[in-house]
Amino acid sequence: MDGTLYSSEPLIERVYKESVDLFNQKYGKSFSAPSFSQIEPLIGQPVQKIYETLFPQITREEKEALGNILIRNFELFISNEGGTLFQGVVPLLLSLKEKGYTLLVASNGKREYLQAIIDKFSLPFAPFVCVEEQGIERKGQILEYYLNSYNESPDALVMIGDRSSDFDAARQTGCFFIGCCFGHGPIEEIKDADALVEKVEDIALIIENTVAVR
């Protein structure tokens, strides 16, 4: 989601600052809020890895408390300000859905965060699963869950993303992978993608040439 369809860049640094400040006040701590340059390389990583990298001294209980504050603030900020959809996202999704494609989310993000984005922009996604649900620990398992749920083979699925975790998930399941050069990740992470795109508008034709509607 983040780095493929959406960018939290306009608000993510402020969300972290307000959340860390509130956490410090509430629990008598003195953690420093990270800068965007510290956060950006971690966007798309599992939430637990993000917290452990940004706050290496944090305990499990503190991680849970800070995580709850962060998620709540992300929901509020997204609801009020939105963040930014990449140009062409809404027309792309509406067109694909109209043509009969099922649109699904495969993300390391928390459900509340993803749902806030979907609700804010009225994105036409089908019901989805997240990491830490249904025994799922990584994106590849999300794709496997969808293949099993829809009784489909890997050639019916296209994974789109900007990080190595997206590429790895596609390779794990054997599905086609489109790498987004406009996302947060360095190009080295997705250079071996089946196809690379420089802008959102390029995605539709690749999908239509790769997977037929079933």
123 burial level (CB within 10 Å; 0-12, 13-18, 19+): buried
List pLDDT tens digits, range 161-209.
999 999 999 999 999 999 999 988 899 999 999 999 999 999 999 999 9
- Provide the residue type at 111 as one letter: R
pLDDT exceeds 80 at position 86: yes
pTM to 2 decimal places: 0.93
Nearest to 82 by CA among 20, 2, 5, 10: 10
pLDDT exceeds 60 at position 214: no
Q: Domains of the chain, with CATH numbers? A: 8-80 (no CATH), 86-210 (3.40.50.1000)
* CA separation for the pair 172, 151 (Å, rounded): 17
List pLDDT tens digits, range 29-56.
999 999 999 999 998 888 888 999 999 9
* CA separation for the pair 63, 65 (Å, rounded): 5
Please report which residue ranges of the chain form alpha helices under DSSP H: 12-27, 36-39, 47-54, 60-80, 89-98, 111-121, 139-149, 164-173, 203-210
* CA separation for the pair 127, 133 (Å, rounded): 13
